[in-house]
């Protein structure tokens, strides 16, 4: 199947269109809210919440006996919120640290959820099959109403984000200051956390409990590398998330036996990888290049200062010296010498070099002031 054919199929085939739209919307909403989770150092909260949502799904099923995905998601939301606030209770009221609290709630809720799920499976009720799709997610089960629900919640998120933008932003970067300004920090905090929980619960059906945390983190972590502005970061994260969804769906649709969730996560991982390496200001590649450049620069300075100390001993600073005497010197290479010549600090005459007036002046001030041209 080639690309144009696939794109045509996306617009004509009902299932494919629903799934592509669903994962794209999901990716963008998790990316948006994930930015806040990452910046608030609550990255693993997503993992804990998604696991903690499982007993809620099971209990909602036990109570209603129906497999209506909206009711189940409501159960997941309630149980996710309980998990979140219990984690907060543990951290603030006992001396257990946040990682312990997260791990505890994650594993205990999930285990309890498993107990309930296996209990349900043994029930003489034919309706229970398919609950375990929430474990690993099944994008194929998305229907149009699910996508509408996602779109609705995404737009609510967007409105709330825009309404409380400055509150979220200030709480993110300076919580104490926010308090002194008279904002109700607890309310803002609960609001943003609830929306994060909501986004996670939305994704359970598509990517599942286990992989949900990556959906939350990966787009945000990738976006973080390209900008230092919160607004741009949230926007980029939403874009990355949406593209992960679209590409992931495309890849998994074009192959047999590939579930959508893991592929989306891997695509998001590729985004992160690329961002880590190629981002211009923070990326590892450019960091390494800058590092090498700086080292060259220092060596150039060293060579120049060495020449300066030799030239100093002569009355005429342009007195020629043999290149050979530089040979044992660490910072010396043919390249650095050429660079000095290009900068007009040094003149070459055959196998001799001499310092120019300009080079002499630069060298004498080398460690006294910052030179403008950092090359």
Q: State which residue, 175 or 310, has the beta carbon closest to other proteins.
A: 175
Q: State which residue, 136 or 306, has the beta carbon closest to other proteins.
A: 136
Q: State which residue, 53 or 90, has the beta carbon closest to other proteins.
A: 90
Percentage helix, strand, coil for the chain under 3-state DSSP, each rounded to 5? 75, 5, 20
- Cβ neighbours of residue 366 under 8 Å, at least 6 residues apart? 301, 304, 305, 308
Question: Strand, helix or coil at 321?
Answer: strand
CB 138 to other proteins: min, Å: 12
CB 125 to other proteins: min, Å: 14
Q: State which residue, 211 or 326, has the beta carbon closest to other proteins.
A: 211
Long-range (24+ apart) CB contacts under 8 A made by 166-170 are 168/36, 168/192, 169/230
Give the closest residue to 40 by CA, choosing from 172, 181, 132. Answer: 172
Q: State which residue, 259 or 299, has the beta carbon closest to other proteins.
A: 259
Q: State which residue, 201 or 317, has the beta carbon closest to other proteins.
A: 201
CB 50 to other proteins: min, Å: 10
CB 34 to other proteins: min, Å: 10
Q: Which H or E run contains 178?
A: helix 175-180
Q: State which residue, 118 or 351, has the beta carbon closest to other proteins.
A: 118
State the Cα angle at 265 between 235 and 274, rounded to 5°. 65
Q: State which residue, 85 or 329, has the beta carbon closest to other proteins.
A: 85
Query: What are the strands of the beta sheet with 321-322, ordered from one edge?
Result: 321-322, 352-355, 346-349
User: What span, in angstroms and rounded, lies between the C-alpha atoms of 308 and 194?
Assistant: 66
Residues that bind other proteins (CB under 8 A): 38, 41-44, 46-47, 51, 89-90, 93-97, 99-104, 106-119, 122, 132, 135-136, 210-211, 213-214, 216-218, 221, 224-225, 257-259, 261-263, 265-266, 269, 272, 276, 282, 284
Instruction: Please name every residue paired with 322 in a beta bridge, in sequence order, or none if there are none.
Output: 352
CB 35 to other proteins: min, Å: 11
CB 111 to other proteins: min, Å: 2
Give the closest residue to 270 by CA, choosing from 240, 293, 291. Answer: 240
CA distances, 160 to each of 151, 154, 199, 219, 347 (Å): 14, 10, 13, 20, 66
CB atoms within 10 A of CB 372: 6
CB 213 to other proteins: min, Å: 5
CB 188 to other proteins: min, Å: 21
Six token digits for residue 38: 């990452």
């Amino acid at each position: 199947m080639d690309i144009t054919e696939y794109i045509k199929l996306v617009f004509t085939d009902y299932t494919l269109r629903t799934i592509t739209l669903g994962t794209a919307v999901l990716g963008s909403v998790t990316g948006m809210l994930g930015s806040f989770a990452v910046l608030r150092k609550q990255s693993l909260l997503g993992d804990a919440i998604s696991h903690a949502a499982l007993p809620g799904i099971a209990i909602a099923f036990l109570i209603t006996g129906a497999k209506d995905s909206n009711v189940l998601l409501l159960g997941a939301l309630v149980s996710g919120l309980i998990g979140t606030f219990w984690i907060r209770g543990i951290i603030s009221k006992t001396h257990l640290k946040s990682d312990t609290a997260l791990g505890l709630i994650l594993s205990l809720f999930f285990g309890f959820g498993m107990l309930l799920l296996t209990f349900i499976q043994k029930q003489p009720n034919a309706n229970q099959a398919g609950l375990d799709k929430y474990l690993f997610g099944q994008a194929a089960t998305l229907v149009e109403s699910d996508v509408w629900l996602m779109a609705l919640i995404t737009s609510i998120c967007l409105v709330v984000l825009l309404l409380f933008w400055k509150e979220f932003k200030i709480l993110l970067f300076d919580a104490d200051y926010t308090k002194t300004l008279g904002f109700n920090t607890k309310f803002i905090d609960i609001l943003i956390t609830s929306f994060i929980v909501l986004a996670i619960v939305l994704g359970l059906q598509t990517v599942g409990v286990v992989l949900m945390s990556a959906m939350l983190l990966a787009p945000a972590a990738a976006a973080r590398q390209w900008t230092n502005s919160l607004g741009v970061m949230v926007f980029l994260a939403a874009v990355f998330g949406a593209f992960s969804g679209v590409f992931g769906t495309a890849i998994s649709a074009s192959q047999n036996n590939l579930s959508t969730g893991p592929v989306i996560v891997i695509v998001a991982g590729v985004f992160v990888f690329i961002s880590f390496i190629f981002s211009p200001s923070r990326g590892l590649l450019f960091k390494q290049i800058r590092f090498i450049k700086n080292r060259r620069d220092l060596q150039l300075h060293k060579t120049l200062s060495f020449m300066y100390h030799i030239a100093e001993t002569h009355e005429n600073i342009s007195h020629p010296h043999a290149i050979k005497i530089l040979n044992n010197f660490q910072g010396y290479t043919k390249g650095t010498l050429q660079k000095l010549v290009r900068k007009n600090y040094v003149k070459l005459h055959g196998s001799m070099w001499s310092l120019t007036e300009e080079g002499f002046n630069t060298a004498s001030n080398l460690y006294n002031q910052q030179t403008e041209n950092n090359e």
